[in-house]
Amino acid sequence: MADIAETLRNHLGQAARSVPTRSLPDIVLRIAALFDRPARFVIPLLGRQHVFSSAKAERVLGWKPRSGDETIIAAAESAIATGAV
């Protein structure tokens, strides 16, 4: 998530001024989950790396995905334009 925050701050400037740049240590979230029920759903995901591939869509459909940075910036600009943030 820190890399997403960095991308937003680098490309959106002042529009990304409220994007958090610090990360929460896993132990703090585990303690919070003892008292906060929604936080419990995140605990099984801690420390896991999720790897996804678009290889089949590229191969079968000839599809070319956007870069990660381009996708992040476009989503943020869309959220700003619609007033969601």
Name the residue range of residue 65's domain: 2-23+49-82
SS3 18: coil
As a whole number, mean pLDDT of residues 18-25 equals 85
Q: For residue range 26-76, what is the model confidence (pLDDT) as tens digits? A: 999 999 999 999 889 989 988 888 899 999 999 999 999 999 999 999 999
Is residue 59 situated within a structural domain? yes
For 28-48, give the DSSP string. Answer: HHHHHHTT-HHHHTTGGGTT-
For 46-64, give the DSSP string. Answer: TT-------HHHHHHH---
The structural domain count of the chain equals: 1
DSSP class of residue 12?
H
Is residue 44 situated within a structural domain? no
pTM for the whole thing? 0.66
What amino acid occupies position 32? A
Q: How many other β-carbons are positioned within 10 Å of the β-carbon of residue 73?
A: 18
